[in-house]
Amino acid sequence: MRLEQLQAFLAIAETGSFQQAARKCGVTQSTVSRQIQALEGDLGLELFYRNGQAKLTLAGERLLPRVRKISQEWQIATQELTDLMEGKQPELCVAAIHSLCAYYLPPVLQKFCHQYPEVQLRVTSLGSDRALKVLKDGLVDLAIVMNNRFLTTAREMVVEVLYDEPIEVLTGINHPLAQYEQIPWSELILYPQVVFKDGYGMQRLVQDKFDRLEARLQAALEVNTLDAFRGVVRQGELVALLPHSALVEARQDPTLAVRSLESSKVTGASLEACSLSRRVVMVTTQDRLQIPPIKDFWQLVKDNIPPQIDALSKSAS
């Protein structure tokens, strides 16, 4: 059973004529006749009396409302797909890491809303691993996360590198580590830390670094918001390893100190020479990137979220 056979059946039922049905469907009368014969062969029942005007048999009458419903559903489906490819989707869903939602993303969101006022933009702040999972599950259209090559190597994934940034140490202003300009790893590993919860890329990054140092990470507390990190560290006992872009407000807080980690070069160290850094990427699937609102949001992010580490530092000073 094929769609064009059902369309031919519906056209004959509505016009009462094979000839008029052929005209309505844009095919020859012989084509319509073959389609109905094939449909009747599949069903094992005649659908029309062929005495002058085509009149529905009992089987045809029973089939007609079902075919109408199928035809309506098909029209709705094709219209929805047409609207999708023309950028008329009702919403666009984005999952992004906390620091990006707080500092880099807001100007992009505003520009997109002006460009697509009819699209409901939904942004969820998630850890990197969770964001990539909901992207894979089709719950969001795009994710902006810390790179995880194990979760972004599928053939359908498209990955755009946005920026690299150093990981720095957040301490209370009176913490012993605050005396350093660049904190040695040999000193850092001695103190308990507040870390991101499981499922966040930063937790994995920090743990992997400690594993390579053959040191034990003293994870005294797990939290998942930047406010919580600042609040806990402000108490004076715990420290935290956080990305540069997550420390904007901390730099303006007189009760906190932000210190870099010891680098392989003491002066003029490049980002690559830093002892720990993270890469932030934007991820979607190839099919989603063909849809105008998603494609345009992707380009807005590329245009407005380049490496801005220096600019971010100046704004915080």
CA distance 225 to 240: 12
Closest-CA residue to 199 (of 251, 258, 151, 256): 151
CA distance 135 to 112: 20
Where exactly are the structural domains of the chain? 3-85, 91-163+279-316, 164-277
* Higher-scoring residue by pLDDT: 102, 160: 160
What is the CATH number that goes with domain 164-277?
A: 3.40.190.290
Rg (CA), the chain: 30
Helix (H) or strand (E) segment spanning residue 236: none
pLDDT at site 87: 61
Q: Angle, nearest 10°, between helix axes 128-136 and 201-212?
A: 130
- The tokens describing 218, both together, are 């003293």
Q: Mind giving me the DSSP string for 183-214?
A: E-HHHHTTS-EEEEPTT-HHHHHHHHHHHHTT
Domain at 91-163+279-316, CATH homologous superfamily? Periplasmic binding protein-like II (3.40.190.10)
**What's the mean pLDDT when you consider all of the chain?**
86
> What's the whole-model pTM score?
0.71
Q: Is the pLDDT of residue 213 over 70?
A: yes
Q: What percent of the chain has pLDDT over 70?
A: 91
What is 3-85's CATH number, 2.40.128.30, 1.10.10.10, 1.20.58.2030, 3.30.390.30?
1.10.10.10
Instruction: Select the highest-mean-pLDDT range: 64-68, 189-193, 287-291.
Output: 189-193
* Higher-scoring residue by pLDDT: 90, 279: 279
Mean pLDDT of 123-151: 90
Q: What is the pLDDT of residues 259-275, one digit of tens each?
A: 999 875 444 444 444 47
Q: What is the pLDDT of residues 67-118, one digit of tens each?
A: 999 988 888 787 777 766 766 677 899 999 988 888 889 999 999 999 999 8
Mean pLDDT of 195-201: 86
Q: What is the pLDDT of residues 101-110, one digit of tens each?
A: 888 899 999 9
Q: HEC string of 16-74?
A: CCHHHHHHHHCCCHHHHHHHHHHHHHHHCCCCEEEECEEEECHHHHHHHHHHHHHHHHH
User: What are the φ and ψ backbone dihedral angles of 298, each rounded to 5 degrees?
Assistant: -55, -45
pLDDT at site 306: 63
Q: Are 47 and 39 in contact (CB under 8 A)?
A: yes
Mean pLDDT of 146-169: 88
pLDDT at site 1: 75
- 164-277 matches 91-163+279-316 in CATH topology: yes
CA distance 281 to 160: 5
Mean pLDDT of 33-57: 87
- The tokens describing 234, both together, are 């402000």
CA distance 29 to 14: 15
